[in-house]
Amino acid sequence: MAIQYPFRRKRNFKETDDLGFGTRIIGEKDRLIAKDGKFNVVRVGLKTWSPYQDLVEMTWVRFFGVVIAFFVVVNVVFALLLNWIGMDCLNGVQKGSWLENFEQAWFFSVQTFTTVGYGSINPSCISTNFVAATIALVGLMSAALATGLLFVRFSKPTSQLVFSKNAIITPYRDGTSFQFRIANMRNSRLINLDVKLTMSWVEPNESGTMSRKFARLKLEREKVVMLPLNWNIVHPIDEESPFWERSPEDLAAMNVEVIVLIEAFDEVFSQTIFANSSYCDEEFLHNVKWKQMYYPDPSGSGKTILDLARIDETMPIV
Amino acid sequence: MAIQYPFRRKRNFKETDDLGFGTRIIGEKDRLIAKDGKFNVVRVGLKTWSPYQDLVEMTWVRFFGVVIAFFVVVNVVFALLLNWIGMDCLNGVQKGSWLENFEQAWFFSVQTFTTVGYGSINPSCISTNFVAATIALVGLMSAALATGLLFVRFSKPTSQLVFSKNAIITPYRDGTSFQFRIANMRNSRLINLDVKLTMSWVEPNESGTMSRKFARLKLEREKVVMLPLNWNIVHPIDEESPFWERSPEDLAAMNVEVIVLIEAFDEVFSQTIFANSSYCDEEFLHNVKWKQMYYPDPSGSGKTILDLARIDETMPIV
Amino acid sequence: MAIQYPFRRKRNFKETDDLGFGTRIIGEKDRLIAKDGKFNVVRVGLKTWSPYQDLVEMTWVRFFGVVIAFFVVVNVVFALLLNWIGMDCLNGVQKGSWLENFEQAWFFSVQTFTTVGYGSINPSCISTNFVAATIALVGLMSAALATGLLFVRFSKPTSQLVFSKNAIITPYRDGTSFQFRIANMRNSRLINLDVKLTMSWVEPNESGTMSRKFARLKLEREKVVMLPLNWNIVHPIDEESPFWERSPEDLAAMNVEVIVLIEAFDEVFSQTIFANSSYCDEEFLHNVKWKQMYYPDPSGSGKTILDLARIDETMPIV
Amino acid sequence: MAIQYPFRRKRNFKETDDLGFGTRIIGEKDRLIAKDGKFNVVRVGLKTWSPYQDLVEMTWVRFFGVVIAFFVVVNVVFALLLNWIGMDCLNGVQKGSWLENFEQAWFFSVQTFTTVGYGSINPSCISTNFVAATIALVGLMSAALATGLLFVRFSKPTSQLVFSKNAIITPYRDGTSFQFRIANMRNSRLINLDVKLTMSWVEPNESGTMSRKFARLKLEREKVVMLPLNWNIVHPIDEESPFWERSPEDLAAMNVEVIVLIEAFDEVFSQTIFANSSYCDEEFLHNVKWKQMYYPDPSGSGKTILDLARIDETMPIV
């Protein structure tokens, strides 16, 4: 059956364009936002170099690789310089081949850079003394930078909201609803959670060209003060909803993507955090309902147990 | 006398469920929030490991234990490595039994790790030189991490709001009210305090199963700009209040818990802080009023004295 | 002429009590808030020890005094310990009197604590080696703490708003107004300034006891986006103002204090800052107007010159 | 044709003065805000010294210059002190001319200040030992300060919003509009962007003196949740706009400056950032429209390419 596009019926919902995506993206089969929240946009042209952002956001493995590489290379440079000045200007060196000299110069540089300074090798000329002073200063600055970076990396709020893998279209009160659920993986508190849902789909304009539309989805509840258990985020499907009277085949043809924006205050890190995700039409399940994720502690401690592994679990509506 | 449950009378208050606790917790004798604000929820399943949060939140005794243990163990590992390479590769070692060698290797490792580097023992082979360079780098990184952690721990806003031990049901203007009081323990300023009170209780549904309900309590004043003295937080009990016409026995049977959420800006730490507590029905006192906590300085300095030790003090209403 | 207290006339202003000062302070001749914004309240009873706050807020002279004292004393303790173990356990010591030994032990401790580690004196027994390892670890932890504290102290937003010394009662549009002015001492930007003015005074209740009252003062403008020049903060005196038809003698008898709360975002420090001050009735000037503080650069550069030294300057209204 | 000043016609827009610039600036040919957002105001009089702000905001070249200069000079001072005490109080010095002694004293001071501490030169008297302890302490404090500063400098949000060079007056829906556009240079996210546009111009009062006026410009959209592509900021020119029925010559005579204030939350730096700019009438283009800056990736990856180099590009309206 031919898809009945919105332009042939009365719209009861208000279109919105506050996500900044514009209306001319017509890559119909693509997501605007990946499951982890990143944009599917590539920037070219005026690129700025932001070393801070890269150093903070790269993986731990890569970060330590950068640190070790920097450590090795800087001391190689200084070792070459010391070698060029001449090994006679260092006490305690056992002169040998160029490579042996270079090794000892490198170790001396490392001992100065890290300020260990055994003294088994030490500078005897003014030139090597100046180089040693420079190595020490560069080492101190590098340690200062590394302290800052290591600390920022270690203290960045890690993602702690887990989203259900699927969203479900399920009965709610007297009608239907679009739902997904979230929970906090950690006991640290998220305060004042604020959720915005936007639905995005593709449809033809009056002229016939395909255009991407956006509409905000009204929620049963947009704010929650705390998140001790899970939160089922519910969009009741009434006549004002873009979901109204859409079959699963309609939703697929419209290439629907529901974009989730969550803002909350993380009490441990004392920072506002943002968590984004999205649900594409292939991820919608119909005619199911949620399996409950929490239950009283059977051992009678009085506590409630929240089983995060069950967050995706649904069961058919009989 | 049988408890008259709300479902048999007209409700004048609006139920709310924005605390995220859900309605299916029926552990009737238990608190949702402990006196210090933590949730009574245990998470299982998808647990994430968050070393930062643990290292920041553990007690000082435990933290220093972790630091010392790490310090000792890392140097043990390096000492074993040096021992395995061979004591001949270290100058200044007095060789003896395996234990004596290991001790000296451990001290050498510590001297390098902390970058003290006396030089009384120093590396003579390339292998031990490389190990020493590695020890120094690991030591620097560890010091960087410790600097960050120590700083965050030392500068976390410590709780400074003291709550009265009890809440009182006491006359207020022409009626009654539910009150408790708070004060700031320190002279550092809390700005823009914002209080939300939610009452939680248990009652049977129409079907007879017990269910937990929540309702927001309206306050005489929800915001205060500063907190130089104490603040009596007052919920006037009118027909719209869930407390309306409830005797102390009613409140006990309903397993009432009043949950307090306070948000404020701490000027010293330049951070938003959240303070939570709760009052269970056993902690309500009836027919008392507050003893005043402040008085003009008798020595005539013109200042006002705020006696924090009196915060719990009440006296019977004659 | 007897003061006509408000209770004998119709009040057109709304009393407010959101400053948290309460109504029972009757130290009539005293300020609630000092000119620099601190409360005139002394806390006794449950005092908490907050070393962080003290170390961050003390003067620089005191802070460096604490640092030097700590440095000296910690090393004295370790020196005593080393002395007690025995000087034979340190290489390179020239034994002499107890004092001479103690001095050398102290210098050795300092060299280890600061990780300089010349090696001219170094440990020869296991016991002194362990002590040395401890000294190094304590030194590293102390350096970590000092780094954090020094940094926080250095980067605390320093007060940069300058208030006019006096407030003036001066004509404004068709009536009178209560005004004072502020300016930003630095070129760094304060964004989104928000001002609240509250007037506090003392008057008798119907029962005759003196009681302190508060009322919010409406402003011509409560918010300003930026502060490139000065801002004259204007409270128009209309019938709704507590100033309405009050002579200077009335204001003195009422012991008026106008409390200023300013909130702004400091762009350099990326923090919200709060600046408070107050104006007592002795600081009100009547029948004057402001001298302007800024003028175009006479050298023709096109810039505007803001002369901060003129902020207090007024001139009589002819 | 003579300029028809607003005072001879009915005003449909509301004047505003919340930018804090005042109305008496009559430097007609000058900007209030430079293109990079700084104020054109020079402060004299009560200047405060704010070393933190200077050290954080100076260029990297200048900052490292300050660091190196400080490093050199502090050690010169200590070297002079050691020299004055006498070279006999240092072991390992090869005495020679005053300059040669001074050099070795300087290197010794550097080795202690940086805590390298080779030990090839070490103190032999109590006096030089005390000086060495002082040098080490000063060195540690300096390293602490430098760590903090380096970290703050490295982590300050760098400007990442790029503004179009020109603003355009262009058709919009059924009328005209004033537009410019912005884009985020980096993939890091800016959240909750908030834009305020204020137009400033000069016109004569009824008395004839020139006075500067301000009016807020209403926007088609004032907030955008995210900025994955570019955002055309649109002020529709209707009868309520100060632009209404103004020709380009009018705008030039009025010395129009449109001041842009943008507030957003930078997710990488977890900070609120402010970006300002301004557009003077010489920078307005008429009868052009924007060339689009983004297009689907031709290689079929499904991503969208945003070409930041095209942000200034316009094309004539045929």
State the nearest Cα–Cα gap between D85 and chain A, in angstroms: 22
Find, in chain C, the residue whose alpha carbon is nearest to that of A144: C147
Query: In the complex, which subunits touch B with 3 or more CB pairs below 8 angstroms?
Result: A, C, D
Q: Phi and psi for C23 in degrees, rounded to 5?
A: -105, 0
Among the listed residues A140, A288, A201, A223, the one whose alpha carbon sits nearest the alpha carbon of residue A3: A201
User: Residue D7: pLDDT band by 50, 70, 90 thresholds?
Assistant: very low
Among the listed residues D212, D208, D210, the one whose alpha carbon sits nearest the alpha carbon of residue D200: D212
Give the pLDDT score at D29: 53
Q: What is the pLDDT of residues A30-68, one digit of tens each?
A: 677 777 667 777 777 766 666 777 888 888 899 999 999
Among the listed residues C243, C256, C264, C255, the one whose alpha carbon sits nearest the alpha carbon of residue C182: C264
Using a CB–CB cutoff of 8 Å, tell me whether D122 touches chain C: yes
Contact B116 C137 (CB under 8 A): no
Q: Phi and psi for A140 in degrees, rounded to 5?
A: -65, -45
User: Residue C189: pLDDT band by 50, 70, 90 thresholds?
Assistant: confident
Find, in chain B, the residue whose alpha carbon is nearest to that of C111: B116
Give the pLDDT score at B316: 92
- Percentage of residues in chain B having pLDDT higher than 70: 86
Give the pLDDT score at C7: 36
- Higher-scoring residue by pLDDT: A156, B131: B131
CA dist., res. C179 & res. C167, Å (int): 6
Contact C115 A118 (CB under 8 A): no
Using a CB–CB cutoff of 8 Å, tell me whether D119 touches chain B: yes
Does C219 score more than 70 pLDDT? Answer: yes
Give the pLDDT score at C29: 53
Give the pLDDT score at B6: 40
In chain D, residues with a C-beta closer than 8 Å to the C-beta of A157 are 270
* Residue A70: CB atoms within 10 Å: 13
Contact A119 C118 (CB under 8 A): yes
CA dist., res. D182 & res. D195, Å (int): 11
In chain B, residues with a C-beta closer than 8 Å to the C-beta of C27 are 296, 302-304
Q: Which fold has domain C51-155?
A: Helix Hairpins (1.10.287)
User: Residue D49: pLDDT band by 50, 70, 90 thresholds?
Assistant: low
Least confident of B269-278, D36-45, D175-184: D36-45
Check if the beta carbon of residue A79 is closer than 8 Å to that of residue A106. Answer: yes
Give the pLDDT score at A8: 36
State the nearest Cα–Cα gap between D122 and chain B, in angstroms: 12
Contact D40 C303 (CB under 8 A): yes
CA dist., res. B161 & res. B168, Å (int): 19
Token couple for B260? 């307090």
State the nearest Cα–Cα gap between D290 and chain A, in angstroms: 14
Q: What dotted CATH number matches D14-43+158-316?
A: 2.60.40.1400
Using a CB–CB cutoff of 8 Å, tell me whether C119 touches chain A: yes
Complex prediction ipTM: 0.74
* Residue D4: CB atoms within 10 Å: 11
User: Residue A219: pLDDT band by 50, 70, 90 thresholds?
Assistant: very high
Find, in chain A, the residue whose alpha carbon is nearest to that of C144: A147
* Boundaries of every domain in chain B: 14-43+158-316, 51-155
Give the pLDDT score at B74: 96
Give the pLDDT score at B87: 87
User: Residue C6: pLDDT band by 50, 70, 90 thresholds?
Assistant: very low
Q: Rounded to the nearest 10 degrees, what angle do helices A60-85 and A126-154 cross at?
A: 180
Q: Phi and psi for A237 in degrees, rounded to 5?
A: -90, 100
Give the pLDDT score at C76: 96
Contact B119 D115 (CB under 8 A): no
- Higher-scoring residue by pLDDT: C211, C166: C166
In chain A, residues with a C-beta closer than 8 Å to the C-beta of D114 are 115, 133, 136-137, 139-140
Q: Give me the residues of B, 34-93, that contact A with CB < 8 A.
A: 38-48, 50, 52-53, 56-57, 91
End-to-end CA distance of chain D: 28
Q: Which of D115, D119, D147 sits opposite B119 (nearest CB)?
A: D119
Mean pLDDT, to the nearest integer, of A163-183? 93
**Distance (Å) of CA B32 to CA B44, B242, B305, C165, D52:** 18, 18, 36, 53, 46
Long-range contacts of D154-159 (CB under 8 A, 24+ apart): D154/A52, D154/A145, D154/A148, D154/A149, D155/A52, D155/A148, D155/A152, D155/D269, D156/D56, D156/D269, D157/C270, D157/D266, D157/D268, D157/D269, D157/D271, D157/D273, D158/A48, D158/A50, D158/A52, D159/D275
- Percentage of residues in chain A having pLDDT higher than 70: 86
* Dihedral sign computed on CA atoms, order B285, B286, B287, B290: positive
Q: Give me the residues of C, 280-309, that contact D with CB < 8 A.
A: 292, 294, 296-297, 302-309
DSSP string, C206-273: TTS-EEEEEEEEP-S-SEEEE-SSEEEEEEEE-TTSTTTT--HHHHHHTT-EEEEEEEEEETTTTEEE
Average pLDDT, chain C: 84
**Structure-token match 């023992």, residue found:** B121
- Higher-scoring residue by pLDDT: C103, A270: C103
β partners of residue B258: B199, B279
Least confident of A67-76, A257-266, B296-305, C102-111: B296-305
End-to-end CA distance of chain A: 28
Helix/strand/coil for A275: strand
Burial A246-282 (b: 16+ CB within 10 A, else e): beeebbebbbbbbbbbbbbbbbbbbbbbbbbbbbbbe
Mean pLDDT, to the nearest integer, of A21-25? 60
User: In which element (H, E) is residue A138 found?
Assistant: helix A126-154
Among the listed residues A91, A77, A72, the one whose alpha carbon sits nearest the alpha carbon of residue A131: A77
Contact A119 C115 (CB under 8 A): no
Contact B261 A227 (CB under 8 A): no
CA dist., res. B133 & res. B182, Å (int): 56
Q: Which of C115, C119, C147 sits opposite A119 (nearest CB)?
A: C119
State the nearest Cα–Cα gap between C88 and chain B, in angstroms: 16
In chain C, residues with a C-beta closer than 8 Å to the C-beta of A147 are 147
State the nearest Cα–Cα gap between D17 and chain A, in angstroms: 29
Give the pLDDT score at A176: 93
Check if the beta carbon of residue A304 is closer than 8 Å to that of residue A298. Answer: no
In chain D, residues with a C-beta closer than 8 Å to the C-beta of B119 are 118-119
- Higher-scoring residue by pLDDT: A212, A102: A102
Average pLDDT, chain D: 84
Give the pLDDT score at D271: 76
Chain A and chain D share a number of CB contacts under 8 A equal to 178
Q: What is the pLDDT of residues D156-167, one digit of tens each?
A: 666 688 999 999
CA A208-A209-A210 angle, 5° bins = 115
Using a CB–CB cutoff of 8 Å, tell me whether B23 touches chain C: no
Among the listed residues A206, A27, A45, the one whose alpha carbon sits nearest the alpha carbon of residue D291: A45
Among the listed residues C111, B303, A254, A125, the one whose alpha carbon sits nearest the alpha carbon of residue D133: C111
Using a CB–CB cutoff of 8 Å, tell me whether C129 touches chain B: yes
Check if the beta carbon of residue A7 is closer than 8 Å to that of residue A205. Answer: yes
Contact A221 B123 (CB under 8 A): no
Using a CB–CB cutoff of 8 Å, tell me whether B118 touches chain C: yes
Give the helix ranges, DSSP H, for D86-97: none
Find, in chain C, the residue whose alpha carbon is nearest to that of D261: C225
pTM: 0.79
